[in-house]
Amino acid sequence: MMRRILIALCAAISLSLSAQLYAESLSTAVRTYDDMIAAGTLKVAVYENFAPYSFRLDGQAKGMDVELAEQVAQELGVTLEIIWMTPGEKLDDDLRNFIWRGHYLRKDIRADLMLRVPYDREFSNRRNELGELVNELVVMFGPYQRERWLTVYNSRRIKSLETVGVFQYHPVGVEDDSVPSFYLLTAFAGRLSSSVKHFVSPTAAFAAMQ
């Protein structure tokens, strides 16, 4: 009996390349490892308002990714500087704005590391129409978390959950802008889309089940 819908994702770390060839082409040179150590700071980009991974609580940076960044900085013997990211329309935008080029309004703000990057080999190796790597100026490495998406259902309303096809006949709640949302809206040629109800958080979705 399938009581779970598992969609596995890996999070990865993205590191800006420090090759001089690329640095010379940028308005502000990408910091090398030696530059970072000499400066005594590690700049790490994390997504804002993204609990439990990275968020502010009483003005302090909190979350799993923040703790990971603190550990990396401690191991390197440098001070951590958090750069809060607002996600763009695509991951490519975030890599460009916070790793290798910088946002056009603040080109001097770039991170040495970026956390919570979905790790996918095909995405990392994508090439453009000229055969060049789309993200050749970043290195994606170090998957550090695997996520599983689960379903919770009311057994008084649904006897069993053998397949997600049952959601053609029962409403299903998902978090806004989440993988389950994208999946259920497009699965079975979109036949489940009318049953998908969006909520701002899993807590809100649970409350709606009462």
Instruction: Please give the radius of gyration of the chain, using alpha carbons only, rounded to the nearest integer.
Output: 20
185 CA to centre of own chain: 20
Residues of the chain with CATH 3.40.190: 9-147
Question: Residue 52: is the preceding peptide bond cis (ω within 30°)?
Answer: yes
- Better-scored residue on pLDDT, 5 or 187: 187
CATH class of 9-147: alpha beta
Mean pLDDT of the chain: 83
Q: Are 160 and 132 in contact (CB under 8 A)?
A: no
The whole-number pLDDT of residue 125 equals 84
Q: Are 42 and 4 in contact (CB under 8 A)?
A: no
Q: Which of 14-18, 115-119, 126-130, 175-179 comes out lowest in average pLDDT?
A: 14-18
- Measured between alpha carbons, how far is 110 from 103 in angstroms, rounded to an integer? 8
pLDDT at residue number 61: 97
3-state secondary structure of 121: helix
Amino acid at 129: E
Band of residue 21 on the pLDDT scale cut at 50, 70, 90: very low
pLDDT (tens digit, 9 = 90+) per residue, 94-132? 998 899 887 767 777 899 999 998 877 888 888 888 888
pLDDT bin (cut points 50, 70, 90) of residue 28 is: low
Mean per-residue pLDDT, 66-86: 97
Q: How many helices (H) and strands (E) does the chain have?
A: 7, 9
Give the model's confidence band at 8: pLDDT under 50 very low, under 70 low, under 90 confident, else very high: very low
Lowest mean pLDDT among 16-20, 166-170, 200-204: 16-20
Integer Cα distance of 112 and 81 in angstroms = 10
Answering whether pTM is above 0.85, one says: no
Helix (H) or strand (E) holding 182: helix 179-190
